[in-house]
Amino acid sequence: MSKEWSAAPAPLRVALLGFGVVGGGVYDLLLADQKRFQVVGVACRDPERHIRNGAPHRLLTNDPAALPEHDILVEAIGGLSPAEEIIANALRRGIDVVTANKSLVSRRYETLHAAAEAGGARLRFSAAVGGGVPMLETVEEVAREGAIIRLDAVLNGTTNFVLDRIGAGLGLTYAIRLAQEAGFAEADPTADIDGVDAAEKLSLIVRRAFGVAVDPAEIPRDALGALSSAEIAAAHAAGRPYKQVATARRTAGGLELEVRLRRAPADTPLGRPKLEENCLVIEREFGAPVVLFGKGAGREATAGSVFADLDALAHMRLGASLAESAA
């Protein structure tokens, strides 16, 4: 009687592009799951700084082209360039990519997916919308079950944090600084408080909900500067705080999209989010609304969502490997 033994699959080789708040968080999660993942390299702007903080010297480089061979690339540098070139090249080479870069994916969606198709690779970007809240996946699932007629969402954790703190009596400048110190806001928070970030996220949600491509730059939006601190504080005290709300609704004339500063009763889903929290309300043609709620910014939430995509890729690759073995 013979017995066949199947060896455990080798860990997936992961390279990180960026080692800041999100990249560092993903790195820690990968180290905690070394049976499935092996970090083979990290490309970052200043390797010496991270080495001084205890990162392994052998993993770090400031040249993305010098990264060792890898199965999955995690992009965490943000922006359009050089992220677009690096991601597209990886996808064309058959390397799966995970990113939280909503600006890049929303503006280069077709280009990146064409590169993925050409290389037979997968592009996953759950963390680009909602932080730790699975908004894109939920919207896609709800859309499969029936028509969506409207979406309303608080999508930018930084702006919600700033509005919440101004409502509590702080000034705009100090509220932004607190958001930066907490790791929610970039050094330049303009894209957040001017509604650009929320518009980019809304365009990605609209693709999943309605199958329509929308240029984020064409979505009307309000900037936080349109409100005074006194107006924000008064609304907060009255129990109807201001929120930066992204909306998509089906009308007889087509889709209407916008990102507006709106007052929402504090006991409603859109009025409920505090600090960096996000919320999404999905109204369906049939059935009760679907409401999602949770942390939408920060190291833990975003890194966790990136890791969820890595986990999904690991399961896909394992399933494909088992199918090949059975063939």
pLDDT at 327 over 70: no
Alpha-carbon gap, residue 238 to 28, rounded angstroms? 42
Structure tokens at 94: 């058959």
pLDDT at 37 over 50: yes
Q: Catalytic site residue 201?
A: yes
pLDDT at 4 over 70: no
Query: In sequence order, which residues have a C-beta less than 8 Å from that of residue 95 and are 6 or more positions away?
Result: 70, 71, 72, 73, 119, 121
For the entire predicted model, the pTM comes to: 0.92
Classify 172 as helix, strand or coil: helix
Average pLDDT of the residues of the chain = 94
**pLDDT tens-digit map of 137-167:** 999 999 999 999 999 999 999 999 999 999 9
In the prediction, which pLDDT does 249 show?
97
**pLDDT tens-digit map of 113-130:** 999 999 999 999 999 999
Cross-strand partners of 250 = 255
Mean pLDDT of 291-315: 94
In the prediction, which pLDDT does 321 show?
58
One of 201, 243, 274, 295 is an active-site residue; which one? 201
Alpha-carbon gap, residue 22 to 13, rounded angstroms? 19
Mean pLDDT of 276-282: 97
Whether 64 and 46 have beta carbons less than 8 Å apart is answered as no
Residues of the binding site for L-homoserine = 186
Classify 202 as helix, strand or coil: helix
Domains of the chain by start residue, with CATH: 12-130+301-326 (3.40.50.720), 135-295 (3.30.360.10)
Closest CA to 276 of 304, 260, 295: 295
The total number of residues shown for the chain amounts to: 327
**pLDDT tens-digit map of 179-201:** 999 989 888 999 999 999 999 99
Residues of the binding site for NADPH = 102
Which value, to the nearest 10 degrees, does the dihedral of the CA atoms of residues 131, 134, 135, 137 take?
Answer: 140
Residues of the binding site = 18-23, 102, 186
Whether 292 and 152 have beta carbons less than 8 Å apart is answered as no
Query: In sequence order, which residues have a C-beta less than 8 Å from that of residue 273 and are 6 or more positions away?
Result: 154, 160, 243, 279, 293, 296
pLDDT at 326 over 60: no
**pLDDT tens-digit map of 45-58:** 999 999 998 889 99
Classify 256 as helix, strand or coil: strand
